[in-house]
Structure 1
Amino acid sequence: MSKPVLSAHFESRTPSDVRLAQMKYAERKVKPEAVINVGIGNVSLPTNPAMMDRMFHLDAPGSPFNKGVVRYTATGGFDETKDAFINILKSQGFDTSKLQVLVTDGGSTAMELLIVGVCGPAGSSEKPLMMIDPAYTNYISFAERLGRKTVTVKRKMSVDGKFDLPELSTIEAVIKESKPAALLVIPYDNPTGQLYDMTTMKALAELCVKYNLWMVSDEAYRELFYVDNPELVSIWGITDKEVPGIEGRRIGIETASKVWNACGLRIGAIVTDSPEFANRCQAEYTANLCANAIGQYIFGALAHQSKEELNNWCRDLRNYYGDTIKRVSARFKELEPRLIISSPDASIYSVIDVRDVVKPGFDSIDFTLFCAGEGVVDMDGVSTTLLCAPMKGFYDIPAGEANPGSTQFRISYVESPEGMMKVPELFVELLRQYEANR
């Protein structure tokens, strides 16, 4: 008897690189005593106190859930939740008078809506999404799921750990050739930790205006930067005054996950100054009905926080991550000077490149599976392994071309500072074990 057939898309799917190690480790029959998982940006810090108070008191007077009823919200979200996103932007000095917000189930759903909303027809090569490689792997995965094309310009990681953007003339040449619908930037970059400056952002905005593109900025890590920065880098800091014609083509991706330490809340948003995009986006999202109501209510607490409260929270978080990232990066270089470590400038990630350490033929996915499936290190008498993310899936590389991610890994600063300081020794020792047997 014949069996039902999966779609070609399902047949081709493999786990996302950020979940690969975790899934392999779950299958491991004999597990070590401890595992440090830095493969996914699953923040382990407590969430904002105002949000926490609502989380612990869903039955409080004034709560929409105090009688145990959980109803749909409007498709666009609670007004209070939308106001929370606006309040955060206002507290950072941006003009929000023309902005509209659609609350989504996490930033991931916002990404998917973005691709549907600007790219060409499914299955065609028309109006692709233009990205800067390496790019957050979910954009690549969602584009494949939706049958939309992507096109990239490539960054290269130099030996000093810097990812340098291509020349503007190179980016412009790709725009002319591929005719994208939108340019995606991640100013506080995932996965590289690179921090864009406003001069670069404005130059990219000028290209968007010149070639009639949407400019999309994923601002999940907007408040997390660790260098002296005279101005907060954001798409909302670019107006018609700086780049005539940019207003009305700006789209931002927001999330509660990272700066607000609420990954599992699954609350995000699309923010835009295009009324037409906002209206059509909401119409598309009616099929989803709405984002989760309890998460919206919890995040909505930030609508009532003062500018000082919001900015103090962000400052403390910068201090926390900045110190840890710099210490961990230095420890990697102490243990293995030939490693290339990305510059610790922004977000909550580092990229580790082992290209000058390993033998030819090394594959980052194979090493990741080794660590998750059998690798172990004695750490002060405790058998321990490490889960990290191979970078191959962060590059949109045509078949047959060399993938820089074959020797690169992303680590997420989601463990305690004490736990993160164990990562360099674990990584280096596991790498030595792997190479000795390859």
Structure 2
Amino acid sequence: MPNISQKGLQMPESPIRKLVPYAEIARKKGHKVYHLNIGQPDIKTPQVALDAVKNANIEVLEYSHSAGFESYREKLSQYYKNQNLPIDTQDIIITTGGSEALLFALGSTMDADDEIIIPEPFYANYNGFTVASGVKVVPVISSIETGFALPPIEDFEKLITPKTKAILICNPGNPTGYLYSQEEINQLAEIVKKHDLFLIADEVYREFTYDGYKHYSVMNVPGLENHAIMIDSVSKRFSMCGARIGCIVSKNKEVMAAAMKFAQARLSPPTYAQIASEAALETPQSYFDEVITEYKERRDILISELEKIDGVKVATPKGAFYCIAKLPITNANDFAQWLLETFELDGETVMVAPAAGFYSTPNVGLDEVRIAYVLKKEDLIRSVAILKAALEIYTKK
């Protein structure tokens, strides 16, 4: 029998999705499963986006431009400018989700065995994207004790080698919800300029910030034009995860020319999803105001309830809609599987994402889980009650 590739063997499982078979078993038993494991918002998609697809008068479903609809890129440029981001139409390539944008960024800036420094814990699929690109992740660990703040800049500098090509951040962060300050972004800007590196910023949660904190983009840093690459997506902003539309943004013309070749190789992003995404830009500010208020209330309830559980430690997120919780256990993978396979409270259980999959350093985060507060408030309260009851039993096993 032929062998599969080393790349295939090295490709990590998703910590978010690998427990799905156990959730399906739990449902077949008649148990209700509260999904705290995945960032799938229950917020309604803007009606204007859905209507645009419904009313599209298309006789031939043809390719679009490899960079995406020009009309969409023009409107997206204006959207960014309204957010005080100096982004022009030619700085944007539309991609099939933020995932493809990240792959284009890696492919355009790095060769096999090059290195990228990423503060961890980080979005689990960064591990997969780098494996697919033949790039080595060099992690710099942030800590729950500091709320997952940016590690000291000296920790980055000592990791830089001739193979280092970029630093990658997620801001606000998935899975931590940490929001980097303007000072922290400027520190990163200085180090990438000093060592002639790229700074890739995954900013798909830009609008989701709380407590008066404001997002500061890498696209706002003066003098960083040739170093900054921004990744964006409609998935969370407009609750359109299934559209699979994102974009790669940079002022660096060589990066964008290289990214365009990758875009041409995959032909074009999906037409109907672009129609929906372009229409979504007409969503009124009131939509976002209501969504932010709702997520802040959910965050406050979740954190408050988690802090009532003995032995649980949690950092309060400033953005996105995730948090990392440190549990009084030794193996979150085993605990998460046990929750679905064995435990139930009045016919209900919860699904969490073991946090070890959000690190690349072995044996780190084994007692942590990521929780997404994308459920309505009463479901979050119930979920934490189930989690508390489960921990009481599990820790006595």
Taking structure 2 as the reference length, the TM-score comes to 0.94
The yes-or-no answer on 1:363 pairing with 2:331 is yes
Which residue is 2:343 aligned to? 375
In structure 2, distance between residues paired with 1:260 and 1:83: 18
Look up the SS of the partner of 1:153 in the other structure.
strand
| Structure 2 residue corresponding to 1:284, chosen from 259, 262, 265 | 262
In structure 1, distance between residues paired with 2:178 and 2:42: 23
Look up the SS of the partner of 1:270 in the other structure.
strand
Q: Deviations over 1:215-260 (max 9, x none)?
A: 111111001011223x4311122123xxxxx112211000011111
The yes-or-no answer on 1:270 pairing with 2:248 is yes
Cα 1:375–1:312 change in 2 (3 A) is same
Work out whether residues 197 and 233 of structure 1, in 8 Å CA contact, stay in contact via their aligned partners in 2.
Answer: yes
In structure 2, distance between residues paired with 1:367 and 1:102: 42
Matched residues, number:
397
The yes-or-no answer on 1:86 pairing with 2:77 is yes
> Percent of counterpart pairs with the same letter?
24
Query: Which AA in structure 2 matches 1:372?
Result: L
Cα 1:415–1:141 change in 2 (3 A) is same
4+ runs deviating over 4 angstroms? 27-30
Deviates more, 1:41-50 or 1:341-350: 41-50
Task: Tell me the C-alpha RMSD between the 2 structures.
Answer: 1.9
Cα 1:300–1:13 change in 2 (3 A) is same
| Structure 2 residue corresponding to 1:317, chosen from 264, 270, 291 | 291
The yes-or-no answer on 1:343 pairing with 2:316 is yes
In structure 2, distance between residues paired with 1:213 and 1:14: 27
Query: Which AA in structure 2 matches 1:281?
Result: A
Look up the SS of the partner of 1:425 in the other structure.
helix
Task: Give 1:298 deviation, angstroms.
Answer: 0.7
Q: Deviations over 1:65-111 (max 9, x none)?
A: 2x3x2111111111122234323211212222485111111111111
**Unaligned runs of at least 5 residues, structure 2:** none
Query: Which AA in structure 1 matches 2:138?
Result: V
The yes-or-no answer on 1:247 pairing with 2:225 is yes
| Structure 1 residue corresponding to 2:140, chosen from 146, 153, 162 | 153
Which residue is 1:62 aligned to? none
The yes-or-no answer on 1:395 pairing with 2:359 is yes
In structure 2, distance between residues paired with 1:266 and 1:168: 34
Which residue is 2:107 aligned to? 116
Task: Give 1:280 deviation, angstroms.
Answer: 1.1
Query: Which AA in structure 1 matches 2:39?
Result: G
Cα 1:97–1:108 change in 2 (3 A) is closer
Task: Give 1:27 deviation, angstroms.
Answer: 4.5
Work out whether residues 342 and 350 of structure 1, in 8 Å CA contact, stay in contact via their aligned partners in 2.
Answer: yes
In structure 2, distance between residues paired with 1:419 and 1:56: 32
Superposed, which structure 2 residues align to 1:15-164 within 5 Å? 15-28=13-26, 30-59=28-57, 65=58, 67=59, 69-97=60-88, 100-121=91-112, 124=113, 126=114, 128-158=115-145, 162-164=147-149
Work out whether residues 150 and 184 of structure 2, in 8 Å CA contact, stay in contact via their aligned partners in 1.
Answer: no
In structure 1, distance between residues paired with 2:220 and 2:11: 38
Work out whether residues 84 and 301 of structure 1, in 8 Å CA contact, stay in contact via their aligned partners in 2.
Answer: no
| Structure 2 residue corresponding to 1:195, chosen from 168, 179, 189 | 179
Which residue is 2:7 aligned to? 9
